């Protein structure tokens, strides 16, 4: 069986090989090694190859003297060792893998032969077979797995893909459980200054610790526990947007140079399900392991410690802008480790930590990758981004289903409690709405008289919730000149713009004071109305707000009929007769003369005019420029002071003001409304 090829440059025998080959052949109980080299010239040129030597594998010793130098020694022989020099290191490694594997097979064959011989002995002679002793079978199977694992490691180290694949297949068929780790020699040996942000539910700090590339997360957790008392269960290391797994090294998460950042989040003992008993047992075990080691070993360990010495400090805070060290955090968060442990509610068993690459959303604050359905970050409680959409193919595990169920139950309880609170508040509002005044519930100081007001003696205004004593509010109402009483609250920066409600005013003053308040309000409303008209009867309080189509007003108080055009009472007379009587009376009556002079003045200033047909004085109260004489019913254009239509009556544009004929207005001041 051909087990490998090599290209040794020279050997002790002085031959110049061209293409050597190595065979291991024979029966399972006797294996031999044949070294054959091909030559390019010389006495063996006709055959092209020559046998250098042939040995039993059990009689040789093969050693590695250098990266490209191997040595073969025949046991029990006085001959000089045979030295092989290779041109490439890879070929030397491949050669060593083949020869060492063959030597191990010889050893296994020899052991199997001894075992079979022992099993063939009679039971009386002490021989016991695997079938007769079931306890021996697991040990034999375990030995085979160990040999395969060693072969796999060596084949991978020397780059032999064929042997490595064969060993891996054999282990997979036996379903062997392996733990494959890189040796420390594969990592850089330099120390790394790693920046760590330490945070718990209430506080945070920044520190710098010394680590190495081969440091695992489990080692880092254990060191923090040994030096500072933070149990590994409460430590959550977050590096490179991933929750770190204990078996991986910090370099696999991207910690490779000074200044690289990591986050350490400390859970409470209750959240980590850490009992006080377990904490004390683990702490005692760590103390025993540390005290049992020699002093020099402890010093050597501290020499390469990845964390600074803890110096206990008082207080918790960032004094004078300095950064807090891990000692302060340890002192402040001591209660998180073992405090209030027995009030925790039972929870489902937590699943294993997620792998470095997992589905979910990255926290914008601490970069922790959360599960897709989680509404907030598990580490720092930051809300999930609004634009994140849960994948439709995602299926939550049992722990997440339990959490989602708890969230739904919590939301339902919150909604029920909120609805009960709303119903209670609504009943209180209904009860308060039925009350005319809302009394104060506590002692207050009136902002008007600055007196202490006992509960129930003051009034809480509904619109603005300002408090005053009853007497001050009553005086504010009695002296108010406005129909709406404003809140009297004033200070240097703010003046309240709310008003007292009508029912509050009625309840704060007496009936007589309320009547006077209404009268003042009516007088003020009449004064501020543009189209108001007061009854001409002496001492009558009646008044109205008229419209353009109304020319008469009958007072509801004195029942007198007022002419809105003449601004007088002339029942039984039309406006022409009343104005003629005024002219006659004007000769002997000073009041009539005053009225006549007033009408003439109105005509002169343009606020009144003579009807173009009956010549009485007419006045436009408001509205458009198209008016009608109340005596002769002539339609008049107010701006032109002439008839609206021609001799033919309504619609005759041959005369009159001719407004809108050919699209032109009748007068520059025409409002174009007729």
Active-site residues: which are they?
624
Q: How far apart are CA 263 and CA 512, in angstroms?
A: 77
Can you read off the two tokens belonging to residue 373?
A: 């359905």
Q: How far apart are CA 234 and CA 271, in angstroms?
A: 8
Residue linked to tokens 């980590």: 272
Q: How far apart are CA 279 and CA 230, in angstroms?
A: 10
- Dihedrals φ, ψ of 407, to 5°? -65, -45
Q: How far apart are CA 548 and CA 657, in angstroms?
A: 22
DSSP per-residue codes, 11-74 = -TT----SS-EEEEEEETTEEEEEEEE--SSSTTTTTS-EEEEEEEGGGEEEEEEETTEEEEEE
Measured torsion, CA atoms of residues 355, 360, 363, 367, in degrees rounded to the nearest 10 = 30
CB neighbour burial string for 456-480, b if at least 16 within 10 angstroms, e if fewer: ebbbbbeeeeebbbbebbbebbbeb
The answer to whether residues 180 and 118 touch, using CB atoms and an 8 Å cutoff, is: no
The answer to whether residues 58 and 31 touch, using CB atoms and an 8 Å cutoff, is: yes
Q: Please report, for residues 522, 611, 662, the alpha-carbon distance to residue 654 in angstroms, rounded to integers and kept in the order given.
A: 51, 20, 13
Q: How far apart are CA 604 and CA 598, in angstroms?
A: 10
On the CB side of 385, CA atoms within 13 Å amount to 16
Task: Compute CA 533 distance to the chain's CA centroid, rounded to the nearest angstrom.
Answer: 67
Q: Which residues pair with 637 in a beta bridge?
A: 626, 642
CB neighbour burial string for 497-522, b if at least 16 within 10 angstroms, e if fewer: eebbbeebbbebbeeeebeebeeebe
Q: How far apart are CA 81 and CA 71, in angstroms?
A: 6
Can you read off the two tokens belonging to residue 186?
A: 């594969």
Q: What is the H or E stretch that residue 164 is in?
A: helix 161-173
Measured torsion, CA atoms of residues 630, 631, 634, 639, in degrees rounded to the nearest 10 = -60
Closest CA to 308 of 369, 384, 224, 215: 224
Q: How far apart are CA 220 and CA 249, in angstroms?
A: 9
Task: Compute CA 3 distance to the chain's CA centroid, rounded to the nearest angstrom.
Answer: 62
DSSP per-residue codes, 185-252 = GGS--SEEEEEEEEE-SS-EEEEEEEEETT-BHHHHHHHHHHHH---GGGEEEEETTEEPPTTSBTGG
Question: Taken in order 488, 494, 499, 504, is the CA torsion positive or negative?
Answer: negative
Residue linked to tokens 């968060």: 333
Q: How far apart are CA 138 and CA 261, in angstroms?
A: 47
């Amino acid at each position: 069986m051909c087990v490998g090829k090599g290209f040794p440059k020279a050997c002790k025998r002085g031959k110049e090989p061209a293409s050597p080959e190595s065979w291991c052949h024979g029966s399972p109980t006797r294996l031999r090694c044949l070294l054959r080299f091909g030559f390019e010239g010389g006495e063996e040129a006709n055959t092209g190859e020559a046998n250098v030597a042939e040995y039993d594998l059990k009689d040789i010793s093969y050693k590695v003297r250098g990266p490209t130098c191997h040595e073969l020694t025949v046991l029990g022989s006085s001959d000089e060792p045979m030295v092989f020099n290779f041109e490439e290191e890879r070929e030397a490694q491949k050669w060593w893998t083949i020869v060492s594997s063959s030597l191990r097979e010889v050893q296994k064959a020899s052991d199997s032969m001894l075992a079979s011989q022992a099993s063939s002995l009679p039971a009386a002679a002490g021989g016991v077979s695997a079938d007769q002793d079931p306890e021996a079978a697991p040990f034999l199977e375990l030995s085979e797995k160990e040999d395969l694992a060693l072969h796999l490691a060596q084949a991978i180290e020397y780059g032999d893909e064929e042997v490595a694949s064969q060993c891996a297949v054999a282990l997979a068929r036996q379903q062997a459980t392996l733990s494959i780790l890189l040796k420390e020699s594969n990592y850089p040996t330099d120390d790394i200054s790693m920046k760590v942000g330490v945070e718990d539910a209430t506080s945070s700090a920044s520190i710098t610790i010394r680590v190495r590339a081969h440091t695992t997360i489990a080692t880092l957790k254990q060191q923090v526990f040994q030096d500072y008392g933070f149990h590994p269960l409460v430590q959550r290391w977050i590096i490179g947007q991933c929750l770190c797994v204990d078996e991986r090294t910090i370099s696999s998460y991207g910690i490779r140079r000074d200044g690289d950042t990591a986050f350490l989040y400390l859970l409470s003992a209750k959240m980590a399900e850490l009992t006080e008993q377990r904490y004390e047992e683990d702490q005692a075990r760590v103390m025993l392991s540390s005290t049992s080691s020699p002093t020099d070993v402890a010093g050597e360990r501290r020499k390469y410690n990845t964390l600074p010495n803890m110096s206990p400090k008082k207080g918790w805070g960032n004094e004078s802008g300095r950064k807090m060290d891990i000692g302060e955090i340890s002192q402040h968060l001591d209660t998180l480790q073992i405090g209030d442990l027995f009030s925790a509610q039972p929870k489902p068993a937590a699943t294993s930590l997620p792998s470095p690459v997992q589905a979910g959303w990255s926290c914008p604050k601490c970069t922790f990758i959360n599960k897709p359905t989680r509404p907030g970050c598990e580490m720092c409680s930051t809300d999930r981004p609004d634009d994140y959409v849960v994948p439709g193919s995602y299926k939550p595990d049992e722990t997440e289903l339990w959490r989602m169920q708890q969230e739904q139950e919590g939301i339902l309880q919150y909604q029920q409690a909120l609805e009960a609170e709303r119903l209670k508040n609504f009943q209180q509002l209904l009860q308060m709405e039925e009350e005319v005044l809302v009394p104060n519930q506590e002692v207050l100081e009136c902002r008007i008289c600055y007196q202490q007001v006992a509960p129930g003696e003051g009034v809480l205004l509904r619109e603005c919730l300002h408090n005053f004593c009853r007497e001050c509010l009553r005086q504010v109402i009695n002296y108010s000149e406005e129909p709406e009483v404003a809140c009297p609250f004033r200070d240097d920066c703010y003046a309240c713009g709310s008003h007292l409600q009508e029912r509050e005013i009625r309840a704060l003053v007496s009936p007589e004071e309320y009547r006077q308040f209404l009268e003042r309000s009516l007088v003020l409303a009449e004064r501020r109305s543009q189209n108001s008209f007061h009854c001409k009867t002496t001492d009558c309080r009646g008044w109205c707000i008229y419209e353009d189509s109304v020319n008469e007003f009958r007072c509801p108080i004195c029942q007198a009929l007022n002419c809105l055009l003449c601004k007088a009472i002339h029942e039984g007379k039309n406006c022409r007769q009343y104005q003629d009587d005024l002219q006659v009376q004007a000769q002997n009556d000073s009041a009539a003369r005053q009225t006549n002079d007033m009408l003439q003045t109105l005509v002169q200033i343009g606020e009144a005019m003579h009807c173009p047909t009956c010549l009485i004085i007419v006045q436009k109260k408001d509205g458009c420029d198209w008016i009608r004489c109340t005596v002769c019913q002539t339609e008049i254009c107010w701006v032109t002071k002439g008839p609206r239509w021609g001799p033919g009556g309504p619609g005759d544009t041959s005369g009159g003001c001719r407004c809108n004929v050919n699209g032109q207005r009748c007068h520059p001041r025409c409002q174009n409304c007729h």
